[in-house]
Amino acid sequence: MSSIKTSQKKADKSERWVFDVSDYVSHAAWSNDGLFFAVALASGPIRIFNRKDGSQKTIDGHKFGTMEISWSQDNSKIASAGQDGQLKIWDATTQKLLKSSEAGSQWAEHITWSPNGNHIASAAGKILRVWNANGEIIQEYKGHPSTITALHWNSTGKEIATTSYGRVMIFQIGKIEPQQILLYPSSLISLSWHTSGKWIVAGTQEGSVHGWKIPHQEGEDIDIQGYETKITQLSWSKNGKHLATVGGSWIVIWDFSGKGPQGQKPEILKDQRKVTQMSYQNNGDLLVSGTKDGVVLFWRQTVPQKTRLEKHVGSAINHIRWSPDGSSLAICTDDGKIRIWDSPTV
């Protein structure tokens, strides 16, 4: 049984809530109004926490485990994907199941609501499916060469990009075949689409970052090698000029203004601890990172090497999420704790 308590750390007034779910958090997401923080648990349930009063609700989730969750734009619903191969849509207020549909014959690993609120995209094995907001399927694509590893909508919500081995595919809503296929001979495992739509960037299993200018033309790719480990973390700054990437213990920041970072020297934030999570602040100039040994580091974008704040939480950090307005930060750790902090002054 989970418990709630307010922080007893009198010296740290920024820590608002500590929740103990006694389970591993497989995915986490803020509601678009920043009032609620939801987590998908490895055992199946979905927990919803109220940032202001600390109350919480429980959704049944998926048999065998919930993989990912995504809020609707009006914050009234949560879509989820799970190891039972189902896509489910829940009423976030009553916690009732509104719709359950088969997302594929395998685990449904990824799910994301479009920014315009009109569609939901899900991935199960090699199958991409796009649904309307009521959970009715409108298109399907089974032609990926391997398991889909990531999904990302463009800012308009009219196109969805996928990664699988050796390629990024871009699909337009209402069209079955991919609108564009971007090739790169590597295992692509992370994906981010710039809000302007100008760049798509993917991180690889082999420790590199590859980017494509959109619309794509030959010779406009960027390829950045030399990371210590695979690239699972990608985050754009609020002004869209910088992309932060993680490989091992370094955060490497690339300048995407102008023609892009190819041939330029990046900003490197060095720390000896392995970075597990990283994200730029929404509506602010902080960059936060979390480490395997349970340390949260805050960096200022304007002077990243000179000013930072450290906070210790005692367990490996598996999720860090800024609220949409950047005023709150949620941290999930391997010991089953979820912390809600007010954004610190650094």
Q: 260 with 247: CB under 8 angstroms? A: no
Question: In this predicted model, which residue has the larger pLDDT, 225 or 345?
Answer: 225
- Please count the residues of the chain: 346
Buried/exposed 115-124: b ≥16 CB within 10 Å, e otherwise? beeebbbbbb
For residues 131 and 129, give the distance between their C-alpha atoms in angstroms, rounded to a whole number: 7
Binned at pLDDT 50, 70 and 90, residue 307 comes out as low
High-pLDDT (> 70) share of the chain, %: 95
User: pLDDT band at residue 11, thresholds of 50, 70 and 90?
Assistant: very low
Q: What is the mean pLDDT of the chain?
A: 92
Q: Comparing 150 with 266, which gets the higher pLDDT?
A: 150
Q: Does domain 232-346 have CATH number 3.30.930.10?
A: no
Tell me the per-residue pLDDT of 103-135, one tens digit each, with 9 for 90 and over: 987 789 999 999 999 999 999 999 999 999 999
Q: Is 44 exposed, middle or buried (0-12, 13-18, 19+ CB in 10 A)?
A: buried
User: Binning pLDDT at 50, 70 and 90, where does residue 264 land?
Assistant: confident
